[in-house]
Amino acid sequence: MENPQHPPDSPGARPRRSHGRATLADVATHAGVTPMTVSRMLREPDRVAPETAQRIRQAIDDTGYSPNKQAGGLASGRSAIVAAIIPSVANSVFAETIQGLSDALQPAGLELFLAPNDYKLEREEDQLKTLLGWGPAAIAVTGRRHSPVALALMRQAKRAGTPVIQMWDLDARDTEFLQIGFNHHLVGVAMGEHLLACGYRDLAYVDSGVAEDFRAHERGQGLAQAARLAGAALQVLVAPPCEPMAAGRLALLKLMQQRLPRALAFANDHLAAGACLQALELGLALPDQLALLGYGDFPISQQLGRGISTMAAPRYQIGLATGQSILLALGRPLAEDQQVLDHGSLVPTLVVRNTTVAGAGINPANVAEGSSRD
């Protein structure tokens, strides 16, 4: 039971506490010390006498105390929040990035604030404004394209000493913010070069149906550049805005109505998988009649047919590396068991399977990695 005191004479003595939670002061009373000692014990245990520490620990247990992080953050000017703006969680690409980020941050006691913007660049402004209101320890955004206002907010945060990280893209000439990712144009070029090296001279790129998936567009442009330089034909098709595998099927059907190119590159593996299924069902021989090249190296690419060739994108690693960069920028130690990721390892690598090179297919039944949880 609380101890309702008589209101003193002075006009402004209005107790306001409403929640029932124990505070530092409660613990202090319980342990017979001042709040300051408890606070110290929590943050610098070495600076309190062992015996006092013991009493305080006891009091903490007795009262069920857990620190009020808002109060702590306000007082210290620091906050243990990392804010991340991503296009969508319901997309294995970013879901795994989030998981990596979380895995890096949680051991360090940093909380993750998530703001999916559904690929709407415009929403980023609001999200940044709101997130900045928490005085985050760091901010991670997706990509390098931002509205002028969003950019101004990011600059303001940077000036205030908050690390700002752009994930999933990289332009070495731009050093304004930290970047954890890779150059999508170059990946597109690499995709093109692989197809050209296989001898395919009549190419198509199937872009995702998402207008603001800039990185996919850039890969397409890289591919186009490679084709142009080699004098090969390239047409670009935008997949219909439906479920990705279905979209891949439809894209293939559409191309066949006109004239099927020799090789298709896709904005992602789901599109490629759909096209692969459709091709197999139509009796097309892969890669003899039609070559397919995906992007992402999602599990399905390993399983379908004799394996879909693809560019492996370091989904989880980008999240982990982002988290590590944040800890580094904040001068915090990484968790002991964490290897520091070499940023060179964040470059996608070509995974040649059977849809571009005959006989390159792996035996999927023997592949076992990851985990089957659901």
* 214 near a copy of itself, rule: CB under 8 A: no
Q: What is the CA radius of gyration of the chain?
A: 27
Number of continuous H segments (helices) and E segments (strands) in the chain: 13, 11
The count of chain residues that interact with a copy of itself, using the rule CB under 8 A, is: 93
* 15 near DNA, rule: CB under 7 A: yes
* 77 near DNA, rule: CB under 7 A: yes
Q: How far apart are CA 188 and CA 194, in angstroms?
A: 10
The pairing of beta strand 178-180 with beta strand 164-167: parallel
Report the Cα 119 to chain-centroid distance in Å. Answer: 13
Report the candidate in 103, 144, 147 with the shortest Cα–Cα distance to residue 327: 103
Span interacting with DNA, options 76-84, 260-268, 283-291, 341-349, rule CB under 7 A: 76-84
Nearer to DNA, 76 or 289 (CB): 76
Q: In whole angstroms, how close is the CB of 45 to DNA at the nearest point?
A: 10
Q: How far apart are CA 333 and CA 218, in angstroms?
A: 36
**Whether the Cβ atoms of residue 322 and residue 165 lie closer than 8 Å to each other:** yes
Nearer to a copy of itself, 35 or 240 (CB): 240
Build a one-symbol-per-residue string for 306-345: x at contacts with a copy of itself by CB under 8 A, - elsewhere: ----------x-----------------------------
Q: How far apart are CA 102 and CA 97, in angstroms?
A: 9
Nearer to a copy of itself, 91 or 179 (CB): 91
* 349 near DNA, rule: CB under 7 A: no
Find where tokens 């066949």 sit.
Answer: 256
**Whether the Cβ atoms of residue 325 and residue 285 lie closer than 8 Å to each other:** no
Out of 240, 329, 335, 349, the only residue in the binding site for a copy of itself (CB under 8 A) is 240
* 69 near a copy of itself, rule: CB under 8 A: yes
Span interacting with a copy of itself, options 1-9, 223-231, 241-249, 332-340, rule CB under 8 A: 241-249
* 159 near DNA, rule: CB under 7 A: no
* 1 near a copy of itself, rule: CB under 8 A: no
Write the single-letter amino acid at 362. Answer: I
**Whether the Cβ atoms of residue 341 and residue 123 lie closer than 8 Å to each other:** no
Nearer to a copy of itself, 12 or 109 (CB): 109
Q: In whole angstroms, how close is the CB of 3 to DNA at the nearest point?
A: 13
Q: How far apart are CA 136 and CA 79, in angstroms?
A: 6
Both tokens assigned to 26: 């409660």
The DSSP code sequence of 293-334 is EEEE--HHHHHSTT--EEEEP-HHHHHHHHHHHHHHHTTPPP
Interaction partner, residue 98 (a copy of itself, DNA, none; CB < 5-8 Å by kind): a copy of itself
* Contacts of DNA in 20-39 (CB under 7 A): 21, 23-25, 33-37, 39
Find where tokens 């005959």 sit.
Answer: 358
* 129 near DNA, rule: CB under 7 A: no
Interaction partner, residue 336 (a copy of itself, DNA, none; CB < 5-8 Å by kind): none
Interaction partner, residue 368 (DNA, a copy of itself, none; CB < 5-8 Å by kind): a copy of itself
Q: Which parts of this chain interact with DNA (CB under 7 A)?
A: 10-17, 19, 21, 23-25, 33-37, 39-40, 42-43, 47-49, 51-52, 65, 67-68, 71-72, 74-78
